[in-house]
């Protein structure tokens, strides 16, 4: 028999296989997760979770989809964090230092505590990419934050109230729009899509059984 562990979900104890992630353990216990979860038709980064192991006072944060259960784990799923998402027109903003001051001035209140970096489940150097944003180094900020999944755990620990994921998103958009070299083959493909070149192919795929689509995906040619 598979090794079983005890976990506490919504304040109630369940016995689940030790091989499961928190996400799968919640479903094993009978809960259905759909709303907001990337692997359940939502968006990646939505399964932010806090937990504590019995006997250990440290409160830990993670993503439920990539963290395995442990014995005597007390688990609480987190709702979306109230991140500040400023509205702007990417065609009108410019990649200079003033844009961050206008849209996200709280980044200049960073006290360097590094709580954001310690909390990141992706292991990103969050405080560093905020420092790049402060200096207007958007290319570096975009690269440092590239693997951010917008879970918001970093912001939940920030005493300055910085919306780190939204700052990073703005930096990546500025980098893609104004700084990074233009990709001609991408522009060509976008134009082909607008012209309807792939509509017949898409309709053909939609008519195929799932098994055939999976086979096509697994044997596809990957550009090197």
Q: Are 79 and 46 in contact (CB under 8 A)?
A: no
Other CB atoms within 10 Å distance of the CB of residue 75: 22
Rg (Cα) of the chain, in Å, rounded? Answer: 21
- pLDDT above 70: percentage of residues in the chain: 95
In the predicted model, what is the mean pLDDT of residues 159-166? Answer: 95
**How large is the greatest C-alpha to C-alpha distance in the chain, in angstroms?**
62
- Given this model, what pLDDT does residue 131 score? 97
pLDDT grade, residue 42 (50/70/90)? low
Alpha carbon distance 111, 107 (integer Å): 9
pLDDT band at 33 (very low <50, low <70, confident <90, very high): confident
Q: Which two tokens stand for residue 99?
A: 């844009």
Domains of the chain (ranges; CATH) run: 4-77 (3.10.20.740), 97-179 (no CATH), 184-218 (no CATH)
Residue 3, both tokens: 């090794």
CA dihedral 106, 110, 178, 103 (to 10 degrees): 0
Question: How many CB atoms neighbour CB 82 within 10 A?
Answer: 11
**Global pTM exceeds 0.85:** no
**What's the pLDDT at 43?**
65
Residue with tokens 């590239």: 146
- Alpha helices by DSSP H, listed for the chain, are 22-28, 97-103, 115-119, 126-134, 138-144, 153-156, 164-174, 184-194, 199-206, 210-218
How far is 3 from 118, CA to CA, in rounded Å? 31
């Amino acid at each position: 028999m598979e090794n079983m562990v005890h976990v506490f979900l919504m304040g109630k104890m369940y016995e689940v296989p030790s091989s499961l992630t928190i996400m799968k353990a919640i479903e094993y216990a009978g809960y259905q997760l759909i709303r907001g979860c990337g692997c359940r038709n939502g968006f990646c980064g939505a399964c932010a979770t806090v937990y504590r192991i019995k006997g250990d006072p440290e409160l830990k944060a993670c993503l439920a989809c990539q963290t395995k259960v442990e014995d005597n784990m007390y688990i609480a799923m987190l709702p979306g964090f109230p991140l500040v998402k400023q509205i702007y027109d990417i065609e009108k903003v410019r990649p200079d230092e003033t844009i961050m001051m206008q849209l996200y001035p709280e980044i200049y209140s960073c006290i360097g505590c590094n709580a954001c970096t310690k909390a990141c489940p992706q292991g990103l150097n969050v405080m560093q990419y905020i420092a790049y944003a402060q200096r207007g180094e958007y290319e570096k900020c975009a690269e440092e934050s590239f693997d951010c999944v917008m879970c918001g755990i970093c912001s939940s620990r920030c005493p300055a109230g910085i919306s780190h994921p939204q700052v990073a998103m703005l930096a990546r958009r500025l980098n893609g729009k104004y700084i990074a070299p233009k990709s001609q083959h991408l522009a060509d493909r976008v134009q082909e899509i607008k012209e309807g070149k792939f509509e017949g192919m898409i309709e053909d795929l939609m008519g195929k059984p799932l098994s055939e689509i999976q086979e096509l995906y697994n044997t596809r040619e990957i550009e090197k």
